[in-house]
A and B are shown apart, each in its own frame.
Chain A
């Protein structure tokens, strides 16, 4: 027992202060929100679109756009483009309420998620129970959702909890491209959640099918089955991106805002 007490002192207090304090430092090579500047695109150039593994880029005269719902943040487009049309930045804030808000262009930055409608916010704002369902992905999104439950992030301090039964839940937190083999189980889980309920799609798979877009074995994301209330892009999204999305949905972080960064 003394060893356990000593260990407790040795390990210290580790829960971050975000969102009141600065967010945790992101790694140098972190790939976050991209900037699109097609002004130097030569006619007929398709280098970026041809390099994209998930066809996330739409080319047009001065109107090239990138669908973050499909994007794996692999930066193949950035590497392929000789003009610097696409550059991935370090901004971790990526979650949106509408599928179309994930399509970013030169004059269309990401429209970050706004809070829930007043009635739902009243119900869920201080207590949101989510049933996580994994349906045809690679388990990386799940791993970084799990991280939010560790002491460093402590998701429960916001009243957000992952619960075991859909009947105890206010909504589903869905990962994976929705394999045909999970379609029935996922529908049953959705039906078991009492109304009113919300659906959150985490990761490129759950938004669009991700690396598996177009496979006959998958349904290309949760949108094929249910209305989605929050999209959190990434492959997988960083835990901070997921947390930021959840807190925006609950109105804990206001539109467009970013808590002061630790590195200034």
Chain B
């Protein structure tokens, strides 16, 4: 270990630090510190590469949920290989594959070393799989895990699925109807956002943020705006913080309610499916009351929010919220009262708490395994520092738990919005944005409806983005879906899939 008193740089959600204050560890120091930290309850929120002179810098952002802090770890490698941490720290499995694909670094000993999004290496001279630079990788063309045996059959689904849903490829290894293993291969929605963010911000940046995952516009735009505010050393006004909170909870409501309806639909229970399908639209319309867009486009901007919420509008919103609340309290509990629904929800797609911890699962999927991780509670920012929202957990880790946690969160979000609308602070809604400070790093965490949204920005000598890393909660959680499917019946896949409700575009970027 170096002579420095602290091998990592202590930080917090939305507080920027100087790049030079983060010591450059030797690769083995970096790796053992990461293992130690994860062994003592820290989570890997982000882990990414960055091209620098003479090689690649690797950065990790670790979250300490118990002590409300973040740690930045950094190392430099000049070779193109590193021992894989995945066997001892499974939650980095996809991060290592991502770094390999982008920067041509081989992680030796990685148990399943494959591309993530099927694009060419960002470093033309270096490819982790020694593929010739002239051949563009073909999506989905790769080795898949196979179970061998006379009675084993393989089912391949996608990239195009039956419904109105994003593309992805699923391979099931089945014995009869029983799934022994599911492998998920994505990348079909890859549109090169992170690479386009380099050198920013520019006039397109906010629009990239709002479309990283279209159903998570508010959470991603908030994470970005807080990055810009930290780099410009400003804060959003109190009134804007409350409006951001209202918008974030409305986003959660629309999606949770939509998912509860879709789960009902997946088990053929049409009353709740119909009611919730409509109610989801009511919540989207409430977001449109704030800013004209059902997805919150144009609302969240660095420095605050772009639309005022006048008292009469707040009053109308409250009325709509009360009406939707009343309908929901009839529509959703029908699920828990119907034995035909509960028979399909309970004990299906079980994810153990241990597996969830190992994979670094976030959001309602983690809370449904009894893990009380929630950024609004563990790393609060904005309005959540003053207005506390209960962390909703359940212990069984099955489809029921993931549905029921959503229902508890729906109720908590409604209460939160109701209180926020009645106590909107006075004052401006937007502060002027200041130029970004050069040579700094900042990470922001936001509890989106799927879980932790993590953005990290590193600025160069001019304050431009030398790297901008986005981690959508889906990036952590897709592997959990694969695990939950083990030893399940293949016909339960749509139900299990919806119970995790993951984003393809947020993963593929």
Contact = CB atoms under 8 A, between A and B. Distances in A.
A40 interface: no
Contacts of B275: 7, 11
A121 interface: no
Contact of B163 (A8, A152, A164, A181): A164
A147 B285 CA distance: 12
A4 interface: yes
B203 interface: yes
B314 interface: no
B192 A74 contact: no
B307 to A, nearest CB: 6
A185 B162 contact: no
A151 B294 CA distance: 18
B201 to A, nearest CB: 11
B153 interface: no
A218 interface: yes
A72 interface: yes
A218 B167 contact: no
Interface residues of A, number: 65
Contacts of B285: 27
Given A7-B271, A7-B334, A27-B285, A134 B165 contact: yes
Interface residues of B, number: 64
Contacts of B334: 3-4, 7
B188 A143 contact: no
Given A72-B207, A150-B277, A185-B159, A179 B188 contact: yes
A75 interface: yes
Interface string A224-238: 000000000001101
B294 A211 contact: no
A216 B192 contact: yes
A134 B166 contact: yes
Given A8-B271, A30-B292, A152 B281 contact: yes
24 contacts: A3-B337, A4-B271, A7-B275, A10-B327, A11-B278, A11-B330, A29-B292, A51-B203, A53-B203, A53-B207, A137-B505, A138-B211, A143-B214, A144-B294, A145-B164, A150-B280, A152-B278, A162-B163, A164-B162, A177-B191, A181-B117, A182-B159, A217-B119, A218-B192
Given A139-B214, A149-B164, 13 more contacts: A4-B338, A7-B331, A14-B278, A140-B295, A141-B214, A146-B164, A147-B281, A164-B163, A177-B191, A181-B187, A181-B188, A185-B188, A211-B204
